[in-house]
Structure 1
């Protein structure tokens, strides 16, 4: 276990040791001011207001460990809730990675509508089988590529590029199909890895790039829109199952209410941050979208063979 992970585990156990049934630890990995952080604070306020006598400790900036560690802690009952990430969660619930099929969603509102419907219910059933309860889906944006020294408007521009991806097989498969050399790394370690030259670039939604100051390191951003990623808000199933119906309803209402704020902030950032970052020295270009779509078609073939029902449900929901 790494020193950071050990420190996080010690902190979670200390908090859990003083917690009663009405004390909740809500962990996430985002920086202060990120829409995920803002929404977590709102979640805490709503939940404390409708769950009689409850208090919520919001622990952001990966102080409870990285996303995978927080999911493990939620499953074990050490923390209760985490606003997590699609890639890391797909290591536990592989089906959730299907939300990241390349170029699946044309825009953010379409993704939200799909996740709030039958597809979201199907994913929750699979999560519960793994000891986790999905309270709802917040947003983690449509992802773009940033590079240290150049833009990458054509798939051929990625040949041999060492690119950081989130933990999760979907992103690795996408960038392998594009001819890059992808490697997963937790988001909290990304700035240091970029500065040390481990990677040529990375991919993230503009909100994450800006709030973590990655645009100051990788000053070339290509607007690929290659992949959507959700922020599943996840509770440990043992904690969830021990709640009475009224408190479960409260947790769901807090997730939905804070999620409206989070999604709106994410949408606004997607629309406004390009101008902000250009003023700070970032060079943007549009990708050849048709070329990228053609280059990643094989990814659909792989996942349709493994998860035909969910891939078909996703395609049908988007088409509607």
Structure 2
């Protein structure tokens, strides 16, 4: 019912003086406190200011418009206009975006941002448009670490047989299968309850996501694997984008960039500052043998190099690997 109500709101809103303003639904799956949630509010503020109030924005947070896959479908269908989405869900539509998650590809966040803000980002947008979507820009979803209910996993051998939740992303599944774990995809909104029910031994996410969802209170053993990077593509339905006037397009892109600067800053700060907060709340942190993890996941590069040899090579060269 809530989704239908929000969809109805996407039609028009009457402003003072009888002028009708279109309402833009900006949907995402994050909860209050998450950098994505904060940036979405910033996006609405920037966009409305840029349009001079000609359009209004309804930020539909916390997966009220469905999970990431459902939001992408809704954007394509014109039910919503824009979504701050996920690399995993987008990789089902644009497989090349999944290559950003090759194991240990990026050493830090700025390295990933540089690649996304260049030719690679433009190429991914071109691919998305053939599938009915327009990428307005790339926010951040961090470098990911592993949490477990009962133990640290400093070496690949420690992860064998681990039931681990992954996003709906084949790259992540491949990484953990290479490590000998038992990965299974699950929507982000369903993760806390699944962990509490014992469906999984653990999960993997950047510290900002782990902390904002309080996953460290359920899986308090945090192993700093840094095994892969993920982006947060800001995606518009191509139908809405193509029908929008130039002012609307300009404002949408500018709002994405300005809010993205804030989101990236918060994401990076989270990686740098959240560890002591989480430790104070009972989490135990462990460093891992990254060389051993890299060697154990080298086969993932071989698999994707067979299908995307030029792009895998270009990504490795772009980051100096």
Measured against the shorter chain, the TM-score band is: over 0.9
Equivalent position SS for 1:225: coil
What TM-score do the two structures reach when normalised by structure 2?
Answer: 0.95
Distance 1:106 1:188 in 2: 28
Trace 1:167-246 onto structure 2 (pairs within 5 A): 167-246=168-247
Which residues of structure 1 form unaligned runs of 5+?
1-6
Distance 1:209 1:63 in 2: 20
Is 2:244 the counterpart of 1:250?
A: no
Q: Is the 8 A contact 1:8 1:65 kept in 2?
A: no
Q: Is the 8 A contact 1:119 1:313 kept in 2?
A: no
Which residues of structure 2 form unaligned runs of 5+?
14-19
Give the corresponding residue for 2:17: none
| Count, aligned residues | 314
1:9: Cα distance to partner?
4.2
Is 2:297 the counterpart of 1:303?
A: no
Please give the per-residue CA displacement for 1:139-186, whole angstroms capped at 9, x wherever unaligned: 000000000000000001011100000001000000000000000000
Distance 1:11 1:235 in 2: 20
1:12: Cα distance to partner?
4.0
* CA RMSD in angstroms, aligned pairs only: 1.3
Q: Is the 8 A contact 1:28 1:84 kept in 2?
A: yes
What TM-score do the two structures reach when normalised by structure 1?
Answer: 0.95
Give the corresponding residue for 2:294: 293
Q: Is the 8 A contact 2:10 2:22 kept in 1?
A: no
Distance 1:297 1:115 in 2: 23
Give the corresponding residue for 1:26: 26
Is 2:285 the counterpart of 1:284?
A: yes
1:55: Cα distance to partner?
0.3
Distance 1:22 1:219 in 2: 45
1:315: Cα distance to partner?
1.5
Equivalent position SS for 2:79: coil
Equivalent position SS for 1:319: coil
Give the corresponding residue for 1:103: 104
Moved over 4 A (4+): 17-21
Equivalent position SS for 1:92: coil
Equivalent position SS for 2:319: helix
Distance 2:6 2:74 in 1: 8
Q: Is the 8 A contact 2:76 2:239 kept in 1?
A: yes
